[in-house]
A = this chain, B = another copy of it.
Amino acid sequence: MKHFTACFLILFISVFIQAQKLESPDKNLTLSFLLNEKGEAYYRLKYKNKDVVKSSKLGFLISSPTSFAESFKITNTQFSSSDTSWNPVLGEQKTIRDNHNEMLISLQQAKTGYQLNIRFRLFNDGLGFRYEFPIQKDLRHFRIDEELSEFNLAQNCKAFWIPADYDTNEFRITTSRISEISSLIETARDEPLAAKAPSKNLAVQTPLMLKADNGLYINIHEAALVDYPAMHLNVDDKNYKLSTHLTPNKNGEKAYIQTQMNTPWRTIVVSDDARDILASKLILNLNDPSKIEDTSWIKPTKYIGVWWEYFTGGGSTWAYSDNQDIIIGETDYTRLKPNQHHGANTQHVKEYIDFAAENGFDAILVEGWNEGWEDNWAYGKEKIYSFTKAYPDFNVEELQAYAKAKGIKIIMHHETTSSAADYERQLDDAFSFMNKYGYTAVKTGYVGPIIPRSEYHDGQWMVNHYNFVAQKAAQYKIMVNSHEAVRPTGRSRTYPNWIAQESARGTEFESFNGNNPDHTTILPFTRLMGGPMDYTPGIFQGDLSVYGKNKARLSTTLVKQLALYVTLYSPLQMAADLPENYKKHMDAFQFIKDVAADWDNTYILEAEPGDYITIARKAKNKNEWFVGGITDENERTATINLSFLPKGRNFEAIIYEDGKNADWKTSTIDYKINKQKVSSATILKKRLAPSGGIGISIKEIK
């Protein structure tokens, strides 16, 4: 039963017979497009004359067994330049500049006559390229069996990676050399997650952050993921070659294409200064402008929620009863025996509303308000929840009236347990229900494997689903915060109502098996490259054993939790802990109450992936600044240069610092707060505890 396979490794140097070049506006980046004697297409990217990616293939395998990757000839090349700016509805800065040079290569394949265009855009901070399938005579609908785009690294870079998985991105992030990935990937995959579909081969997810020994920081991701599967990256750990691994459906089909469609942009952000990676707006720039004309209803939102109490081990449940023989639409909930520990009951929700109103929050999220939580068996049944029927002890009208009187919005919750098919069926009814009762935002959730059962979270079908939900929500003037969805690719520019996503390992994991202390020093370089994250920080009580049997402990100090409101950008920010914990530390809580969620400007002061990040931001339309600094498991001294403040004026800074004994392992709640006069000339040197942080709020003294 043994098979002999003859392996020949052919090493050859391609002879490139056609080439085109493009430079970035600042001329630091050079992109070459090359065609070899077989008509195979390649590109190469250099930054300040250093290789970012070496010659890397372009093309496709389409409707098996056609290679759409050879016998190309260039039929046309067009160059153009653009320097514009635009204002995001919500964002890290008021105005974003889009300055790039473009090259559009038109190819034709000799053997088939098929046409393929490749559009390259070179910015000062990196490259975006995408494939365009023009309308043509002999090709209209086809299936992509694989996209062949490569990213051939010049070196054995240090990588900040999570393993490729078609269903989840909630892994811890591993830091290693490319060459070490294969020895570490099984450990990385060994996480108890609700749905997992690991790639069979050695592959990792994007956004992938890389650091080369020559000092280059390289980030690979994609922009404007629409009607196409998410890209993972195959890893050739011997030659440091990365290549595209599109998420398939369960039939192995990858993408269905109709000519006139484009792929998403493949993005490479690059610099020799890590801060430039965080400052990059390349991915947003590659997305289409907002398709929503009136955006007045899209608002930055700070919220608390009936949420963390479900994770603490304190006994509160999403479910209203313990009866699990539920059939949605048939079970009469008023006849069920309540379990007496249902979190989302009217009285309890009012307490949250009171606390939100007293402390200046915009909204509260209520999970567990709707029928179905008793029997939310993923993949076992399609109709899991009703999105229009509240539990008997959750009075929709009463609570809406109560919240409205106190100026608080209630955020709707649509956990689908990944029965996306049934969610689509209910979507119009669900959004109409929200409109009727005055809900203006929804948190969606996709825990567990997907129904329809051919699909994965990251495949073309689900990508269309998430986009469809955002689009449909926009019609109803509803903001969307999606959890467990495919990681973002800047679509929040086009649908600014899609204000945040989770799509990475968030705070909830602090209540199970924990996050690494360096987790949030990497996320801005990986997950957040695609868009805002609803990380839900703000946990003050880091020792969960106070609630009962849960032995979990937070991986940061309290002050680092404060700093995350600045370092992890999101226009939607939760104060995730229980009100009772905030009430014990109202002085520290003041930072969360004060901090903005929408910004005029952002200043990346210090950054090294996996080690530390210090960021300052100016609140939108206000003379208020906030600084957040965090470190990994090592203590450090942050150098905070306040030169971003207007010159010649005086300011008061409130500084929230780790206490002397603060340490994520032993003492998370140790903090100190003091006030200090500062100016644009001030340079603060501040010690951060192991997995500690610093938070500063600054106002002008008049």
Which of A's residues lie within 8 Å of B, judged by CB?
Answer: 1, 135, 140-143, 249-251, 253, 256, 258-260, 324-325, 327, 375, 377, 379-382, 421, 424-425, 427-429, 452-455, 461, 464, 468
* 4 tightest Cβ-Cβ pairs between the two chains A and B: A454-B454, A452-B452, A141-B380, A428-B428
Interface CB pairs A-B, < 8 A, 24 = A140-B325, A140-B375, A140-B377, A141-B377, A249-B453, A249-B454, A250-B250, A251-B454, A253-B453, A256-B379, A256-B380, A256-B381, A256-B382, A258-B375, A258-B380, A258-B381, A260-B327, A382-B464, A421-B424, A421-B461, A428-B428, A452-B455, A453-B454, A454-B454
Q: When chains A and B are docked, how far (Å) is the Cα of A253 from the Cα of B253?
A: 19
Across the interface, which residues of B come within 8 angstroms of A377, CB to CB? 140-141, 258
Q: How far is the CB of A617 from chain B (nearest CB, A)?
A: 38
* Bound Cα distance from A427 to B327, whole angstroms: 23
Q: Are A140 and B324 in contact (CB under 8 A)?
A: yes
Task: Please state if A454 and B325 are interface contacts (CB–CB under 8 Å).
Answer: no
B251 adjacent to A453 (CB under 8 Å)? yes
**Residues from chain B with Cβ under 8 Å of A427 in the complex:** 425
Q: Looking across the interface, which residue of chain B has its beta carbon closest to that of A323? A: B135
Q: Which of B141, B250, B380, B382 contacts A454 (CB 8 A)?
A: B250
Please determine whether B452 and A421 come into contact, CB atoms closer than 8 angstroms: yes
Whole-angstrom distance between the Cβ of A378 and the nearest chain B Cβ = 10
Contacts of A424 in B (CB 8 A): 421, 424-425
B residues less than 8 Å from A142 (CB atoms): 380
Closest chain-B Cβ to A393's Cβ sits at a distance in Å of 24
Nearest neighbor of A1 in chain B, beta-carbon distance:
B1
Could you tell me the distance in whole angstroms from the C-beta of A143 to the nearest C-beta in chain B? 8
Interface-central residue, A258, A259, A464, by most chain B CB under 10 Å: A258
Bound-state CA distance A260–B381 (Å) is 13
The reply to whether A325 and B259 contact each other, CB–CB distance below 8 Å, is yes
Complex alpha-carbon distance, A427 and B427, angstroms: 11
**Do B381 and A141 have beta carbons less than 8 Å apart?**
yes
Q: Are B421 and A258 in contact (CB under 8 A)?
A: no
Q: Report the minimum CB–CB distance from A249 to chain B (whole Å).
A: 6
A327: B residues at CB distance < 8 A: 258, 260
CB contacts (< 8 Å) of A380 on chain B: these are: 141-143, 256, 258
Chain B residues with Cβ under 8 A from A250's Cβ? Answer: 250-251, 454
Residue of B nearest to A135 (CB): B325
Given the complex of chains A and B, what is the CA–CA distance between A73 and B455 in angstroms? Answer: 40
Q: Within 8 Å CB of A381, what residues of B?
A: 141, 256, 258
- Distance between Cα atoms of A250 and B248 in the complex (Å): 14
Neighbouring B residues of A260 by C-beta, 8 Å:
325, 327
Additional A-B contact list (4), CB under 8 Å, known A258-B325, A452-B455? A141-B377, A251-B453, A251-B454, A453-B454
Residues of B within 8 A of A464 (CB): 382
A151 to B258 CA separation, bound complex (whole angstroms): 47
Determine the chain B residues whose CB is within 8 A of the CB of A325 once the complex forms.
Answer: 135, 140, 258-260
- Cβ distance A348 to chain B, nearest Cβ, rounded Å: 29
CB neighbours of A141 from chain B (8 A): 377, 380-381
- Per the bound structure, the CA–CA distance linking A141 and B382 in Å amounts to 12
Most buried by B among A381, A454, A468: A454
**A465 to chain B: closest CB distance in Å?**
9
Closest-by-CB residue of B relative to A141 is B380
Contacts of A453 in B (CB 8 A): 249, 251, 253, 452, 454, 461
> Closest chain B residue to A140 by CB distance?
B324
CB contacts (< 8 Å) of A382 on chain B: these are 256, 461, 464
Please tell me which one of the listed residues B143, B259, B428, B454 contacts residue A452 in the complex, with CB atoms under 8 A apart. Answer: B454
Question: For the complex, what is the distance from the CA of A163 to the CA of B205, rounded to whole Å?
Answer: 45
User: Closest B-chain residue to A326, C-beta based?
Assistant: B258
From A380, which residue of chain B is reached at the shortest CB distance?
B141
Contact B140 A468 (CB under 8 A): no
A471 to B, closest residue via Cβ = B329
Report the Cα distance A249→B250, complex, angstroms: 11
